[in-house]
Structure 1
Amino acid sequence: MGLFGPSEQEIETAVNAALDKRASIENPSVPLSSQNVLSFLGLDATSSAGERVTIESALGVPAIWAAVNFLSGTLASLPLHLYKRGKSGRERDTSALGVILHDAANDETSSFAWRKYIFDQVFTGGRGVTFIERSAGKKVINLWPLNPDCLTIKRIDGRKVYQYKDGKRTVTYEASEVIDIPFMLKRDMLSHYSPILSNREAIGLAQAVTKYGAKFFEGGGVPPFAIEGPFQSPGGMQRAADDMDTAVRKASKEKRLALSLPAGHKIHQLGVDPEKSQLVELQRFIIEQVARIYSLPPIFLQDLTRGTYSNTEQQDLHLVKHTLRRWLTQFEQELNLKLFGRASARQYVEANVDGLLRGDFKTRMEGYARAIQTAQMTPDEARDMENRPAKGGEADMLHIQGATVPLGSQPIRGIGDNGGPPLNDEGNNSNAA
């Protein structure tokens, strides 16, 4: 038991112990479910809505599924480049490590699949972990994603270590060998919060609403009701209830609008129908709650209820500035620290978000033209951003607006000239005969 409660490894050990006891002939009375174990530890994941919240059940909520896949897929799809600092500025590093980061993390996993898996774990269980395999010469040769459920993080002699259970053996890694991306750390800076389990009340409500809607339409769209009538016995009352249930389902299947009741019987609605309970509004509220959990604008959860052309564009910028930037900074700094160490300043890793900010074709062209005419970008640099081949020559030089000529070769005007033709070396009009 840790200072702030049991760790995930301790929970898993307790659950496995309960399962082992259940399978034992000497103690067959122990329930197979781990519900009792979690309750004993004070970590019952049942919400106030009566729903048991797990990562698998939460992913059954469309808004959660959309948020996790959108964020992890977007972060994994961004180009991840290795750069080196030179005298003329930064340059792309095409060494083996650059290929590992950009193309293939190892012989089995592409760079996209590796990053997608890592961020899937971050946005569900709350942590994504990768082991850095190095050669005898300390060069990085592979990146191996690890299953966070098999990991125990602790401090030994004040240093953080990662103990990974790989089948029957347990391997201990130093902190410098592991790329660790937590969603949010607890006060001990070892254990972490899961965005799903930490928000079990909101997600439990989402699960309940999803199930209620499915059951409502499964019953033909008819809310629960009670039958009132001259029943002679409990058996007759039960048969009447069964007959009405069968009749409702048959009418729904055959698309009939009328039901017949015996004389003297009445139907009374139980509970509240979906319209009065504002089921549609509640589902929209759930989308907003999920958007808050993951700091996502609602439009990225396919909710355009309040979307307009202008605010949708602003929410697109909000995504990059306030959501993706935070995760990319954490990811880049963790990679730079673990791959190169604290003292290295020559190489660094950076994700390219230019593609997310490119906009439509007309806007891109206007932006490139302005950057070229103000000597901020060469034509070849603009062509490279559009994946077009370089032209070289003057296209690889900075230009300034005017005649849009190479910087330094624009016409020189005389002092006091009011915009007339340029003067020659003798001070005469260069255009004069």
Structure 2
Amino acid sequence: MKLFGFNLTRETRSANSPENATIPVSESNFLAFFGIQSATLPTVTIDSALTVPAVMAAVTFLSRTLAAIPRHAYRRTKDSSERMAGRTAMVLHENPNPVMDKFKFDQWFWQQVFTGGRGLAWIERNGNQIEALWPMNPRKTTIRRDGFSLAYRYDNKEYPAEDVIDVPFFLKEDQISHRGPISMATKAIQLAIAMNDYGSTFFAGGGVPPLALMGPGAKGNNVQRALADVHEAIQEAKKTNKPIFPVPVGHELKAVGLDPEKGQMTDARRFQVEELARVWQLPPVFLQDLTHATLNNSEQQDLHLVKHLIGQWIAAYEGEMNLKLFGRFSGRQYVEHNLDALMRGDFKSRIEGIARGIQTAQLTPNEARALENRPKHMNPAANELLVQGATVVLGQQPANPAKAAGDIDGEKNDDKA
């Protein structure tokens, strides 16, 4: 007979049964009785790690956020810089290759960085013209060093380092191999998976922990009949959704399993969110953990995201692109991401910032309109820098206002009848 999936009759017990005096209570089959299926934590792969909600949220949030940031190519001129047009600009800003737009390409690229630990892309050239960017699977790419030169082998073809955009999460000492966030956080992810497995196993059984039936008649068929009665009563209660089931007269049930609440499983799972947020250096609020969130610190975490995380990865991406796309000594052309796009959700702050830029002569009205994808205003004054008239050089007095009509020598001319 079985109770909650466990054999109870002595005839079917094996030599590994916990009742065998030669078997220590730490044996894995004894632990399984308490919901612990194995003393060994589960193996972590990228696919299994992504089944942990906090890991999935970190990877998707970072990859999508970075993919959504606009990217443009610029050319330095004598006085300033101008945005480039043509094929190279289209590859960088719109469509890196014929089958992927910019968002899909960048999202896939960053997913590789934040899972396996490396993003790779091949630059297709036609002379000095950039034709396309093609993603390379890092798990199918081998890197070979020859002196100070690197070569990337992918699909039985070798590519020089000058034609490969390479953004590692964490380089090892040899400057070739890398470490990924999932491999470095294996223990934390193992614990999260184990807690998920335990919780699913516990609730798959209806949330009923292993029970001990206590009472008279511990020998013979009496206890077997009592066990059978309890088992049938529990199954019937599950089917009919009744919270009460009968217990044989003179007997009582006691839970012998691990209580998730007393074992602090809820708090432990919440802590795992904070722990995994540290792996990707994400503020916990972006993993939907609002346990310690307030209006003030949530805003500060938003600033922290841009200054200390997104800005750093964008700098790594831009540096690699500028080096590989335009060459080491080409200072005229460069790639730049527009981090202002992260503020698009806050309309009030964006408009106030633009207005301040116009009033302090940092933006012309037409430049400000271009930031909002609005057409240029035809008035020539919209192309001029404006500044408040009261602003003067330090130490100088503002110009005397023009005398009003009727003023003579600075004094009013009083008309007397």
Q: Give the TM-score normalised by structure 2.
A: 0.81
The yes-or-no answer on 1:401 pairing with 2:388 is: yes
Q: Secondary structure at the match of 2:114?
A: helix
Contact 2:226-2:248 within 8 A present in 1 as well: no
1:73 maps to a residue whose letter is R
Counting only pairs closer than 5 Å after superposition, residues 238-257 of structure 1 correspond to structure 2 as 244=230, 247-257=233-243
In the alignment, the residues of structure 1 paired with residue 172 and residue 219 of structure 2 have an alpha-carbon distance, to the nearest angstrom, of 63
Q: Cα offset for 1:247?
A: 4.2
Q: Cα offset for 1:419?
A: 5.5
Q: Secondary structure at the match of 2:122?
A: strand
Contact 1:219-1:248 within 8 A present in 2 as well: no
Q: Secondary structure at the match of 1:321?
A: helix
The yes-or-no answer on 1:144 pairing with 2:131 is: no
Counting only pairs closer than 5 Å after superposition, residues 86-165 of structure 1 correspond to structure 2 as 86-135=77-126, 137-164=127-154
Counting only pairs closer than 5 Å after superposition, residues 348-359 of structure 1 correspond to structure 2 as 348-358=334-344
1:75 to 66, 75, 78: 66
Structure 1 residues 344 and 54: CA distance shift in structure 2, 3 A = same
In the alignment, the residues of structure 1 paired with residue 357 and residue 125 of structure 2 have an alpha-carbon distance, to the nearest angstrom, of 43
Considering Cα pairs closer than 8 Å and 6+ residues apart, tell me whether 1 or 2 has the greater RCO: 2
In the alignment, the residues of structure 2 paired with residue 238 and residue 113 of structure 1 have an alpha-carbon distance, to the nearest angstrom, of 62
Q: Cα offset for 1:254?
A: 2.3
Stretches of structure 1 lacking an aligned partner (at least 5 in a row): 1-46, 405-409
Q: Give the TM-score normalised by structure 1.
A: 0.78
2:386 maps to a residue whose letter is H
Superposed CA deviations along residues 110-138 of structure 1, whole A, max 9, x for unmatched, are 11111111100110111111111122x24
Structure 1 residues 273 and 99: CA distance shift in structure 2, 3 A = same
Counting only pairs closer than 5 Å after superposition, residues 288-303 of structure 1 correspond to structure 2 as 288-303=274-289
Q: Which residue of 2 aligns with 1:21?
A: none
The yes-or-no answer on 1:53 pairing with 2:44 is: yes
Structure 1 residues 264 and 318: CA distance shift in structure 2, 3 A = same
Structure 1 residues 149 and 48: CA distance shift in structure 2, 3 A = farther
Matched residues, percent identical?
Answer: 48
Counting only pairs closer than 5 Å after superposition, residues 29-428 of structure 1 correspond to structure 2 as 50-135=41-126, 137-164=127-154, 166=155, 170-228=156-214, 230-232=217-219, 244=230, 247-358=233-344, 360-392=346-378, 393-402=380-389, 420-421=401-402
Q: Cα offset for 1:236?
A: 8.5
In the alignment, the residues of structure 2 paired with residue 82 and residue 74 of structure 1 have an alpha-carbon distance, to the nearest angstrom, of 20
Mean CA deviation greater in 357-366 or 337-346: 357-366
Q: Secondary structure at the match of 1:349?
A: strand
Q: Secondary structure at the match of 2:299?
A: helix
2:197 maps to a residue whose letter is K
Counting only pairs closer than 5 Å after superposition, residues 5-24 of structure 1 correspond to structure 2 as none
Superposed CA deviations along residues 144-198 of structure 1, whole A, max 9, x for unmatched, are 101111111121344211111x2xxx11111111111111011111111111111
2:366 maps to a residue whose letter is D
Q: Work out the number of aligned pairs and report it.
A: 371
Contact 1:183-1:192 within 8 A present in 2 as well: yes
Superposed CA deviations along residues 329-386 of structure 1, whole A, max 9, x for unmatched, are 0001001111111011111111111021356333223222222111121111221112
In the alignment, the residues of structure 2 paired with residue 272 and residue 290 of structure 1 have an alpha-carbon distance, to the nearest angstrom, of 25
Q: What's the RMSD between the two structures over aligned residues?
A: 3.1
Superposed CA deviations along residues 229-283 of structure 1, whole A, max 9, x for unmatched, are 53546x9978876765564354234221112222344322123312111222112
Contact 1:297-1:319 within 8 A present in 2 as well: yes
Stretches of structure 2 lacking an aligned partner (at least 5 in a row): 1-37
In the alignment, the residues of structure 2 paired with residue 326 and residue 197 of structure 1 have an alpha-carbon distance, to the nearest angstrom, of 21
